Amino acid sequence: MNKHSNKEFVFGIRAIIETIQSDKEIDKLFIQKNLSNPLIKELVDTARKYRIPFQQVPIEKLNRITRKNHQGAIAFISSIQYGSLDNVISEAFQRGKEPLLLLLDRITDVRNFGAIARTAECAGVDAIIVPARGGAAINSDAMKTSAGALNYIPVCREDNLKNTIRYLKDSGIKVIGCTEKTDTNIYSVDYRQPVCLILGSEEDGISGEYLRLCDEKGRIPLTGNIDSLNVSVSAAIIVYEAIRQRTMR
């Protein structure tokens, strides 16, 4: 059994093109490296038109997923419908709400993602922002770990997180990085205005280029012998500090 065996996928170029055009959400699209023919070109053009992230991979990777005639392409179906960040922000402002958003930088563990989504939905977070590439697969495992929360909270998939952060700032949303690379305690940061909280990867935290764009940074105080928390736990701590401040006004 390979690691993709419990995920719904479609193989074959024409079948994938029709799946994309039917408005089904594609989580990942693998296309065989160095394969060039009119059908592959049509698939690439269709993926770009519909903003479907795709990755060129060796044929061996495709063969590990299925031994059937995949024709050099396999697409994984997402368990959710992705939301529009523009719509999320404008709807929150129209309701008179100060948006509270989460942006996840390269969080790849499906269980961590699902746990973060569960916390976010329970706390009333308006949306989770994820990268089009390099994030956790939003599949049945993520749905199960989220306890169904992914059915209710919008997930916005963005091609370029740097541009997304700039857009958030231009929209009047303060961007706060949850990171150990600061002396500022998370409890000293003001979350009572429109806010987007950034959480970084399990391996090395928030990317330097995103940290430099943050309006503020906050660290979770640690006094034990272990010098780091699981990212889903960190998300819960900082999200509920934001909720605490907002409900005490």
What are the percentages of helix, strand and coil residues in the chain, rounded to 5?
A: 40, 20, 40
Q: Are strands 100-104 and 127-131 parallel, antiparallel or unpaired?
A: parallel
- Can you give the pLDDT of all 249 residues of the chain as single tens digits? 344 444 589 999 999 999 999 878 888 899 999 998 999 999 999 999 988 889 999 999 999 999 999 999 999 988 888 999 999 999 999 999 999 999 999 999 999 999 999 999 999 999 999 998 888 888 778 889 999 999 999 999 998 999 999 999 999 999 999 999 999 999 999 999 999 999 999 888 999 999 999 999 999 999 988 888 999 999 999 999 999 999 986
Write the pLDDT tens digit of every residue in 85-117: 999 999 999 999 999 999 999 999 999 999 999
Output the pLDDT for position 203.
Answer: 86
Write the pLDDT tens digit of every residue in 14-47: 999 999 998 788 888 999 999 989 999 999 999 9
Mean pLDDT of the chain: 92
Name residue 216's beta-bridge partners.
176
The CATH-assigned architecture of domain 85-247 is 3-Layer(aba) Sandwich (3.40)
Which amino acid is present at 87? N
**Helix ranges restricted to H, 139-230:** 140-145, 161-170, 208-211
Instruction: List the chain domain ranges.
Output: 9-77, 85-247
What is the CATH number that goes with domain 9-77? 3.30.1330.30
- With b for 16 or more beta-carbon neighbours within 10 A and e for fewer, the 62-90 pattern comes to beebeeeebbbbbbbebbbebbebeebbe
Q: How far apart are CA 180 and CA 185, in angstroms?
A: 9
Q: Are strands 216-218 and 174-178 parallel, antiparallel or unpaired?
A: parallel
- With b for 16 or more beta-carbon neighbours within 10 A and e for fewer, the 112-128 pattern comes to bbbbbbbbbbbbebbbb
CA dihedral (158, 128, 3, 71) in degrees, to 10, reads: -30
Same fold, 9-77 and 85-247: no
Across the chain, which distance is largest between two alpha carbons, in Å? 62
Query: Kindly report the CA angle at 46 between 85 and 62, in degrees rounded to 5?
Result: 100
